[in-house]
Each structure stands twice: as C-alpha cells, then as structure tokens.
Amino acid sequence: MDLALLTRRCEHEWEIPAHGAMRVPAVIFASEALVRQMDHKVYEQAVNVAMLPGIVTASFVMPDAHWGYGFPIGGVAAFDADGGGVVSAGGVGFDVSCGVRCLHTGFKSAALRAAQEELADVLYAQIPVGVGSTGGIHLGVSETDAMLTGGASWAVHNGWGEAEDLERIEERGQMSGADPHQVSARAKQRQQDEMGTLGSGNHYLEVQHVTGIFDGALARQFGLEMDDVVVMIHCGSRGLGHQIGTDFLKRMAIAAGAYGIALPDRELACAPIRSELGQSYLGAMRAAINCALANRQILTHLVRRAFAHVLPEAKLPLLYDVSHNTCKLEQHGGRSLYVHRKGATRAFGPGHPELPEALRAAGQPVLIGGSMGSGSYILAGTHSSQRQAFSSACHGAGRAMSRHQASRTWRGREVIEALAARGITVRSPSMRGVAEEAPEAYKDVAAVVDSAEAAGLARKVARVEPLICIKG
Amino acid sequence: MGGDPMASGKRMRAHWEHFAHQADMGVRGIGPSKAQAFEQAALAMTAIMTDPATVKPLEMIRIDCEAPDDELLLAEWLNSLVYEMSTRRMLFGRFTVELGPGALQGRAWGERIDPERHHPAVEVKGATYTSLRVAQEGGGWIAQTVVDV
C-alpha cells in the first residue's frame, strides 16, 4: 500500500481521510512495515466499506489485513440500524463464525513428547479432516433445526462435552436470534454429514506448548504457565455457513437497487438491517454461528476421546472459544451497533459483562492462529481496545503468498520433513494442501501481534508453538 | 497454471487458467464462445482441488440455473457445482454448458472423491463476486471470478 495515500495518526495508526462517497474515514492499525506489505486492494476495500449506509465512526483495518471480497479480511465496521445501517454477507464472509478454540491439557511438553507420535495418529484417526470427509453424526431435519438454535448448548445436551464448557464460549455457546427457517434447504443438506469435521485449507487442530509468557499476571488468570500443553482448534460453520454466504450474497446483490443502495462494488452486497432481507440474513447468519459453535464443541469431544485413549489422566477444560467472521449486535458508547468482524476477533476489555466471571478481571482471551511453523499467540482484550475499534483485534498471520505460488514453491513432503526436524508432527491427507499452507507462505505472526499490542487493540499474554498439527 | 482438456475452436483454443489472489484463488475460463468459457471456468475450479485429468467421468448430473445477468449466472453455475460436489462428495472433470437468456443448462461428469487418487488439496467454499467478469475479449470470451477456499 502506498503510504502517500495515508495520514499517520501515530506509530501504529493510519487514516484514509473521508473523500468522495466515503461517509467516514478508514483507519488502519499496523506498523509501517505491515502497511507497506498490504495490497492496494485493501485500501480500495476499506474505502468502499466506508461508503456503505449507516456506517459509524470509521471503516477499520486490522494489522493482519489482506485482500478479501467486499470487505478486506481483517476488516471491522459497525452500522447503526437507526441511521439506515446495513448488514452485509460479504462483511461476514462465507465461513460464518470461523474461529479458534483453546483447551488446556494439564500436561507439560515432556509428558506429551513421550506419546507424541501415538497421539498424532489417534487424533488423525478420530478427527474427520480434508476435502469430502464426513463426520460420524448424520443430522435429520428437525435435529438440524435444534442444532441451529442451540449451538454448543445443543451439542453438550447431546453428550458432546460438559456444561462448564459453555461458560468459556462467546455468547455462552448459544447465539440468540438464530432463525433456522431462514436457512435454505441446500445449506442444511450440505451440513447433514459435516458435523464434527475440521475442513481443509487453513483449518487445523494443533497440540501446542507455551514457549513465551509476556504478561505473568494475565497468564495466571488464563491458567497458563511456561511449557504448558494446550490444544487449538481452528474451523468454522462448514458447508452450512458457506451455502448461507452464497445464498445471501446473490439475494443482496440483486435486491440492493430496490433498497436504493448504490454499491461501489457488487461484492459489497448488503441490505438495510431494518428490511425483510436484512432480518432474514441475520436470522440465518446467527444460525450459522450456532453451527460453528456446535461443530467446535463436537470436535472438542473427539479431541478428549483421543487424549483419553493415549493419556488417560488428561483433562481438557476450555480456555476460551472465539469467532472471527461474524456480525453481532453490541453496545458501544451507549449505542446498539451491528459490528461486522471479517477476519477480526472480538476483544472485550476487563470488566465487560459478556465475559465469564473467571475471566472478567483479565479481559477476553484473544486467540491468534499462526502458521504450522511459526506458532500462535494468546492475547487479552484491553480497555483501550474498546475505544479503538469497537473492541476488535487481529485474527491471524495473514497470507504473504498465494496458494498457487506456494504450491509451486514447496512440496508437501519436504514441508513435513522440515517441521519434523524441528519436533513438529504433521498429519494431513493432502501433500498439496500442506505445501499451500507452508509456514513461509504466511506473514510473520509476531509482527502482527506486536503491532496489535502497540496499537492498543490487545495485550500479549503468551506465545505457543505446535507439537502436533492435524491439517485438512 | 492452465490446461487444455477441452475442444479447440476456430478463433481461439478453449482453455482455463488460475489468477493470483492473496488469500483465495482466481479462476478464468477462456473460449471461442461464452458457453465454452463457462465450461472452462468450471474446469479451473476443479483444478484448485485436484488435477481434472484424474477425475473419471463415471456419473453425469444435470444443473439448471438462472440469474439476471451473465456475471451472476457464472457465479450461480460455479456455486451450483460447489453444492453438488459438497453433497454428493464428488469431483467433476468434464462439463458442457448451454446458455439461454438468463438461464444455463449444464452437465457435469465425475466420480466420488477418492483421497488416495485425487489428493484433494482444499475444498471450495463458494464463488465470490470479486473480479467477477464475463466479457468478449480478443476474439473470444472470458468468464472469471475469485473462489473462496
């Protein structure tokens, strides 16, 4: 991105002043080096989002932002229904409620190392992963609707997990306002055999250990110490969410003219919040959030079963579960706003009433997935994050190289061998998939989280590095 | 990256290619006719997951779709294929398309996914409207968009 197009507010904050049809400015939170790495398309997309009706304060861009469709990935925008605000399917993305869940294990890495290969094999056998994989659960029509309404609560009620898990999930594991009747038959059909599946692409399940503590007090509140082994699960709402994105992108693109919305780009397809289509999308999208929460809950059950087989004394309570592709109605500055986060994590600060009591003093855990080799980060929401960008932070490393280029640059087998030499066990059904996800195809996640902290979006708590990676 | 698994035309050879997108993948079909460009775009989408040449044409399915313009029709065609692949657990390696006003009648030949043989790399979530374009160009047609993976 050309820095000459931006006004520097401070070290890690840049403004694109409102011009042309922009209703508000765009604000980018990133270091100079990260801004320079961003594609010019991120600039264009941040500007386009600022043109949408009812947008409040600014079109925000997180440090890991890259070119998406409609909104940039790493984009945050809030809309006021009273001000003619809109809801956008492109502002949420196809993988509705894609997110990250972190589980404690109670082990140190030495105990895990002794069983590393066996655990990798059992996890790989237990977790359906990769293109075309199906889960062991087949959902009929009425059960699908119950899942879409109940989310992780539905899963726990059916025996996949414990009631105390729900405390440690955004929305307490059940998104309110979900309307299964707004979800198409096609979307439900795509999901009927996909519950408890990990997917492919950048989705993964990793066993990791803590290799750095940045804030001892926060780490203690999160229950983390050096060398603790944790499990991270990254996946979303699977075929159901993808189909909802597809369905509503088309409906919103066709209907925009009838709602008097002049779209700067068709991919910004949206509808007024207070319209039949807007409400229909919100009902369907919230159902997809419940699908993602239920899916990660079932995967948690499968992980616990695998651990019980190899390390019977293991207990795997949740640290937290966050979603990074959503639109949620939240209170900010005394106003009710519809906050779109596309590739951005909610980061409520200390004392927020949405947080479970055990975490309320610390602030919300913000789980940042990195690449297979570079590790991941656990951050905490801060008071300043509430002021900066509607309590939002980054979500991952962000790609530095296209899949196409990555698959021509590396071979999957070589990537696996290189990681094995570093003590990281990879299991995947697709060597090409592994090549496309090679660590070097991603930006430096450390630079992203450093910038997020410096910008006041979140505070660094701990760094974790993989021991086992199950990759789709 | 490209391929030539389909027929050649008088004015230009029908073919497909991928184009760069930072996080996802661009698919572009090119052909003497608009319908052939649509067919090639579908092949380009299959090639994101596997080599289309490895997919045996064991089963044929019909796809009918409608949209108010060519570009939305291309997205609808590709998204219909995503749906069929997802629910049937199939891959497709051969396509035919007939276009009418605002409507498409397509056929797709393929087989159930065999991970051992197809080594599928990544699943396609859906066709977006990013870089979505259907146009006459260079004596033929192009049909392109970015698909979310």
Q: How confident is the model at residue B116 (pLDDT cuts 50, 70, 90)?
A: confident
Q: Which of residues 22-51 of B touch A (CB under 8 A)?
A: 22-25, 48-49
Tens digits of pLDDT across chain A (472 residues): 999 999 999 999 999 999 999 999 999 999 999 999 999 999 999 999 999 999 999 999 999 999 888 899 999 999 999 999 999 999 999 999 999 999 999 999 999 999 999 999 999 999 999 888 889 999 999 999 999 999 999 999 999 999 999 999 999 999 999 999 999 999 999 999 999 999 988 899 999 999 999 999 999 999 999 999 999 999 999 999 999 999 999 999 999 999 999 888 888 999 999 999 999 999 999 999 999 999 999 999 999 999 999 999 999 999 999 999 999 999 999 999 999 999 999 999 999 999 999 999 999 999 999 888 889 999 999 999 888 999 999 999 888 888 888 988 999 999 999 999 999 999 999 898 899 999 999 888 999 999 999 999 999 999 999 999 999 8
ipTM of the complex: 0.88
The number of C-beta contacts closer than 8 angstroms across A and B is 135
Q: What are phi and psi of A55, to 5 degrees?
A: -70, 145
Residue A155 lies in a domain: yes
Residue A148 lies in a domain: yes
Architecture of domain B10-148: 3-Layer(bab) Sandwich (3.55)
Residue A422 lies in a domain: no
Chain segment A98-142, per-residue pLDDT in tens? 999 999 999 999 999 999 999 999 999 999 998 888 899 999 999
Structure tokens at A282: 């919100």
For chain A, the domain total comes to 1
Which residues on A lie below 8 Å from B126 (Cβ)? Answer: 94, 242-243, 245-246, 249
Going by the DSSP 8-state scheme, the letter that residue B68 receives in this structure is S
Task: Compute the nearest-CA separation of A207 from chain B (Å).
Answer: 22
Local structure of A301: helix, strand or coil: helix
CB B52 within 8 A of CB A430: no
Which residues on A lie below 8 Å from B79 (Cβ)? Answer: 246, 250
Q: Where are the domains of chain B?
A: 10-148
Q: Measured at the alpha carbon of residue A224, what is the angle toward residues A219 and A230, in degrees to the nearest 5?
A: 140
Q: What are phi and psi of A325, to 5 degrees?
A: -130, 90
CB A231 within 8 A of CB A316: yes
Which residues on A lie below 8 Å from B18 (Cβ)? Answer: 404
Do A70 and B68 lie within an 8 Å CB cutoff?
no
Biggest CA-to-CA distance, chain B = 41
Do B25 and A403 lie within an 8 Å CB cutoff?
yes
Task: Compute the nearest-CA separation of B19 from chain A (Å).
Answer: 8
Among all chains, which residue has been given the structure tokens 């396509």? Answer: B95
* CATH number of the CATH domain containing A43: 3.90.1860.10
Task: Out of B25, B86, B113, name the one closest to residue A239 (CB).
Answer: B86
Strands A99-108 and B59-66, by their bridges, are: unpaired
Chain segment A323-342, per-residue pLDDT in tens? 999 999 999 999 999 999 99
Decide: residue A313, CB within 10 A, 0-12 exposed, 13-18 middle, 19+ buried: exposed
* Domain boundaries, position A242: 3-400+442-471
Which residues on A lie below 8 Å from B23 (Cβ)? Answer: 66-68, 73, 398-399, 402
Task: Out of B20, B122, B148, name the one closest to residue A94 (CB).
Answer: B148
Residue A271 lies in a domain: yes
Local structure of B107: helix, strand or coil: strand
Chain segment A367-395, per-residue pLDDT in tens? 999 888 889 999 999 999 888 999 999 99
Catalytic annotation on A301? Answer: no
Buried b (16+ CB within 10 A) or exposed e, A47-64: bbbbbbbbbbbbbbbbbb
Q: What are phi and psi of A290, to 5 degrees?
A: -65, -35
Q: What is the pLDDT of residue B11?
A: 61
Do B79 and A246 lie within an 8 Å CB cutoff?
yes
Residue A419 lies in a domain: no
Asked if B117 reaches chain A (Cβ–Cβ under 8 Å), the answer is no
Buried b (16+ CB within 10 A) or exposed e, B27-40: bbbbbbbbbbbbbb
Which residues on B lie below 8 Å from A472 (Cβ)? Answer: 122-123
Q: What are phi and psi of A426, to 5 degrees?
A: -115, 135
